[in-house]
């Protein structure tokens, strides 16, 4: 067992049992306050531990860390580029400092004041500089639903789907953090009963419920990552909303796939939950039939049990839970995705982001998009206030939450929350 994951650990910081950030989690992010410029922090309960301040107080002096300035940075990239042994060493030391039997911060008021910040006083930022972004299509249920709607109901999956993790390269520059407004995109659309397209705001704005992993290790062009070594390259995971304009996407995607219907914005949660923290929540994946090719074979439990929830909040109303799903529903796992991404020799970079694709379960209440929840708008969704939705409207806020829970320990992601505003 990774020592920092011990379920018997408790912190001297008072933490609610329902908190996403117990001492067994310790996710990394970038925060600032009016008196602190952007820097690396770790979430613990309702507080943030300022890792640069921890360094300045000499509390990291015994680590093999050569340059503490990696924690006084606007992104996590300098820190995560140090590699998995250093990620683990820092997380373990942070865990030690926060344990209820450790007095180094707890019993020194000035040190505590320097190192601890209330979450409500901080502004969170995009955690990494994302150089490259790949979006996969890894949920069998989602792919099947889309095939039933748009292709042959007798054979909804494309011939390649069960042989490789389908994906495409997305736009990294338009990935933003939770809290950023989402402006309704405009583009070309064409109705089925018209001869020519028109240009204007999308009428079919949608969310896609996803998770994404971030790489912390680079590779050389021409090299490969095998499934059994993929986890040495994965720093951690975030919640991911792959916003989509379905009418723009439908008109443009043939023959080269998604473009402007996707690239207008994607949003992520600000805290990166390390793969180590999710170790206790591994589960077996689905049986893959037909058998995959040798480079996609893997051993052990490589899937994760992460509960996911989607809330829709109309302007001036309370949030309404509209979907509950789980990463168990993914057919392809991260190890296979990374092995496939590099199978042609494509190189990885620190800070690359790889999204799962929409995560849907087998029941309508577990679908991960409005496209599926309303079955392409044919079955409007009724909200608690009596309003209906086929797709998202201006003023709506979409909120994703996610957490893994087992044996009384909850390791969560916080949330990704964004409000839709009219076209600029």
- Pick the catalytic residue from 142, 303, 329, 340: 142
What distances in angstroms separate CA 201 from CA 134, 175, 194, 248, 419, one per listed residue?
Answer: 26, 20, 17, 9, 16
* Residues in binding site: 135, 137, 151, 208, 210, 242, 249, 253, 262, 266, 358
Rounded-to-integer distance, Cα 274 and Cα 79, Å:
13
* Residues in binding site for Ca(2+): 135, 208, 210, 242
Radius of gyration of the chain (CA): 22
* Cβ–Cβ < 8 Å for 240, 246: no
Rounded-to-integer distance, Cα 238 and Cα 157, Å:
28
* Residues in binding site for substrate: 137, 151, 249, 253, 358
Q: Strand ranges (DSSP E) for 107-233?
A: 116-118, 123-125, 133-136, 167-169, 175-177, 182-183, 186-189, 198-201, 205-206, 209-215
Rounded-to-integer distance, Cα 308 and Cα 140, Å:
17
* Residues in binding site for Mg(2+): 242, 262, 266
Identify whether 142 is a catalytic site residue: yes
Closest CA to 28 of 69, 68, 108, 88: 88
Phi-psi label, residue 278: left if phi above 0, alpha if psi -120 to 50, beta otherwise = alpha
What distances in angstroms separate CA 234 from CA 10, 125, 140, 348, one per listed residue?
Answer: 27, 21, 23, 11
Active site residues: 142
């Amino acid at each position: 067992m990774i020592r920092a994951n011990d379920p018997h650990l408790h912190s001297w910081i008072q933490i609610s049992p329902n908190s996403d950030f117990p001492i067994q989690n310790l996710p990394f992010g970038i925060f600032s306050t009016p008196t602190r410029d952007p820097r690396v922090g770790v979430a613990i309960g309702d507080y943030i531990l300022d890792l640069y301040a921890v360094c300045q107080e000499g509390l990291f002096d015994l680590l093999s860390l050569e340059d503490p300035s990696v924690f006084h940075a606007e992104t996590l990239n300098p820190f995560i580029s140090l590699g998995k042994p250093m990620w683990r060493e820092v997380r373990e030391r942070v865990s030690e400092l926060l344990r209820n039997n450790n007095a180094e911060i707890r019993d020194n008021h000035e040190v505590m004041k320097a190192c601890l910040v209330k979450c409500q006083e901080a502004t969170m930022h995009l955690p990494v500089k994302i150089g490259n972004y790949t979006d996969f299509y890894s949920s069998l249920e989602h792919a099947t639903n889309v095939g039933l709607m748009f292709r042959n109901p007798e054979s909804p999956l494309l011939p390649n789907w069960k042989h490789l993790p389908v994906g495409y390269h997305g736009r990294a520059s338009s990935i933003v953090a939770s809290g950023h407004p989402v402006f309704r995109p405009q583009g070309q659309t064409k109705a089925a009963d018209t001869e020519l397209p028109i240009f204007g705001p999308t009428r079919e704005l949608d969310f896609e419920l996803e998770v994404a992993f971030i790489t912390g290790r680079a590779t050389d062009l021409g090299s490969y990552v095998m499934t059994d070594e993929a986890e040495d390259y994965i720093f951690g995971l975030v919640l991911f909303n792959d916003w989509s304009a379905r009418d723009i996407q439908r008109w443009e995607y043939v023959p080269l796939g998604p473009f402007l219907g996707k690239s207008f914005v994607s949003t992520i949660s600000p805290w990166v939950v390390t793969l180590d923290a999710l170790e206790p929540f591994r589960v077996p994946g689905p049986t893959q039939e037909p058998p995959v090719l040798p480079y996609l074979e893997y051993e052990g439990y490589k899937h994760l049990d992460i509960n996911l929830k989607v809330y829709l909040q109309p302007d001036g109303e309370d949030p309404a839970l509209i979907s509950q799903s789980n990463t168990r529903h993914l057919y392809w796992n991260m190890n296979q995705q990374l092995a496939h991404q590099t199978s042609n020799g494509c190189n990885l970079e620190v800070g690359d982001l790889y999204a799962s694709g929409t995560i849907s379960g087998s029941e309508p209440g577990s679908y991960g998009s409005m496209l599926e929840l309303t079955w392409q708008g044919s079955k409007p969704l009724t909200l608690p206030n009596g309003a209906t939705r086929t797709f998202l409207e201006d003023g709506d806020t979409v909120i994703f939450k996610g957490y893994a829970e087992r044996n009384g320990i909850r390791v969560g992601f916080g949330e990704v929350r964004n409000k839709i505003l009219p076209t600029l």
